[in-house]
Homo-oligomer: A and B are copies of this chain.
Amino acid sequence: MKLKIGVIGAGTVGGGVIHLLLNHSEHIKNQTGAELELKHIVEIKPDLLKPFDLSNVTVSSDIETLINNPEIDVVCELIGGLEPAKTFIIQALKSGKHVVTANKMLLAKYGDELCKIAKESGKELKYEAAVAGVIPIIKTLKEVLSTTHIESIYGIVNGTCNYILSRMTYEGLDFEPVLKEAQANGYAETPPDLDIEGFDTAHKCQILASLCFGTPVPFDKIYVEGITKITHNDVDYANEMGYVIKLLAIIRKVNGEIEARVHPTLVPQNHLLASVRNEFNAVYVESDSAGPTLYYGKGAGRFPTATAVISNLLDLAYRKESPSLPPFIYYHNLNIRDMGLLLSRYYLRFTTKDYPGVLGQICTILGKHQVSISSCHQKETLSYHKALPVHVVIMTHESLESSLQSAVAEIDKLDCIVEPTHVIRVLQ
């Protein structure tokens, strides 16, 4: 029950882990019986270590001292990014140390390779903090829901996007000013592309999909669409119809194939995911024997993320003798479903010139492509705004993605259409 720990990186998450290991160790021992002992820190910026009393901890600026220290049981890689993180993890595993990481990008891209090395080395690679921060979704999928057949996962797993969409929804703001404020307050990175273009969500989508279905899910087969095109108009129209807009990672098993996609989604206001606001994350999972379940908490931030890292250390303290099966070990090779085969309801927001026959043209094209209309809203404009374009919002019945996209492409070529049509999928 004693674990000797090395930490690489004392930034936001690493600093949180160091703080908790130094200050919560007595409480952890009381509550769990485990002794989590911080022995070594690798950090090239000495300033980051100033807040800590490290009298019993070796500090080095090079990785070799840590890797070559035979006393260390586990290495926490908390520097992020692809390199040198990848090299450090491989070195640690090969030198007989378990590894705990929060590095979602690395796992999404090289998860299989790293897990293969872990398996060959007889060591564990654990990564609870890589998906949805403090939410124990990896633990739950591996240790509870692994005995069920997962049917679908709907995750709000990027706090920045959820914060931006929440402020747009509840304060009527537009995308750009909220993003700027989020960056100023440290809620969003600069540049923010990884978050707002959906790639961070896609990294987590990849990890969850690989884990649930024991099948390879190449990152580039995941459909990814961010939130940059969402306007306050879309948020308002969705609200009027009883929906909120969320950026979801959606993973489903459909006819023996895997659907893995990331895009803004209209979520009914009475769905639990609609109540997940601001920087919070949540993962909604449907499985045959467990039914629907949801897990909610902070997806980022120093201590929530550090708590997830430490839960992995606790697992290692308890399980040294019996390593669990690594992730990214595949026993299936299921097809990743083509996005064009998706069946979904759609929110369409057309921006058109306001003259006779427009609605008829749009609806005729939709009908030709077998896209059936569920509701149609055109706002009346004031007469002195006659020259301005108007918004036509159409909700469709369940339609085929490929047909829908063909219809929209055709409509967007009409003379009456002023800007590209906004397409947002609706949660089933």
**Closest residue to A308 on the B side, CB-wise?**
B144
**Closest residue to A276 on the B side, CB-wise?**
B272
Alpha-carbon gap, A279 to B67, bound state (A): 52
Question: Can you report 14 residue pairs joining A to B where beta carbons are below 8 Å apart?
Answer: A1-B322, A27-B147, A31-B325, A32-B142, A136-B143, A139-B139, A272-B276, A289-B304, A290-B298, A291-B301, A293-B296, A294-B294, A294-B295, A318-B322
The reply to whether A143 and B311 contact each other, CB–CB distance below 8 Å, is yes
Residue of B148, B292, B306 near A307 (CB, 8 A) is: B148
Whether A41 is near chain B, meaning CB under 8 Å from some CB there, is: no
Whether A410 is near chain B, meaning CB under 8 Å from some CB there, is: no
Whether A384 is near chain B, meaning CB under 8 Å from some CB there, is: no
Residues of B within 8 A of A294 (CB): 282, 294-297
**Closest residue to A279 on the B side, CB-wise?**
B291
The reply to whether B275 and A325 contact each other, CB–CB distance below 8 Å, is no
Residues of B within 8 A of A145 (CB): 307
- A residues with a Cβ closer than 8 A to B are 1, 16, 20, 24, 27-28, 30-33, 134-136, 139-140, 142-149, 214, 270, 272, 274-276, 282, 288-298, 301, 303-304, 306-308, 310-311, 314-315, 318-322, 324-325, 331
The reply to whether B148 and A144 contact each other, CB–CB distance below 8 Å, is no
Q: Given known contacts A139-B139, A143-B315, A290-B307, what 19 new A-B pairs fall within 8 Å (CB)?
A: A24-B147, A27-B147, A28-B147, A30-B214, A31-B214, A32-B142, A32-B143, A136-B143, A144-B307, A144-B311, A144-B314, A270-B275, A290-B298, A290-B303, A292-B297, A292-B298, A294-B294, A319-B319, A319-B322
Copies of this polypeptide in the complex = 2
Alpha-carbon gap, A274 to B275, bound state (A): 10
A262 nearest CB across to chain B (Å)? 23
A296-B297 contact in complex given A134-B291, A144-B311, A290-B134, C-beta closer than 8 Å: no
Residue of B140, B143, B289, B314 near A24 (CB, 8 A) is: B289
A334 nearest CB across to chain B (Å)? 13
| Candidate in A135, A136, A293 with the most chain B CB atoms within 10 angstroms | A293
Residues of B within 8 A of A320 (CB): 322
Alpha-carbon gap, A31 to B214, bound state (A): 7
Alpha-carbon gap, A370 to B11, bound state (A): 50
Alpha-carbon gap, A149 to B303, bound state (A): 12
Residues of B within 8 A of A289 (CB): 16, 20, 24, 303-304, 306-307
Alpha-carbon gap, A322 to B293, bound state (A): 29
Alpha-carbon gap, A139 to B141, bound state (A): 12
The reply to whether B146 and A32 contact each other, CB–CB distance below 8 Å, is yes
Residues of B within 8 A of A136 (CB): 136, 139-140, 143-144
Residues of B within 8 A of A308 (CB): 144
The reply to whether A31 and B147 contact each other, CB–CB distance below 8 Å, is yes
Alpha-carbon gap, A32 to B331, bound state (A): 11
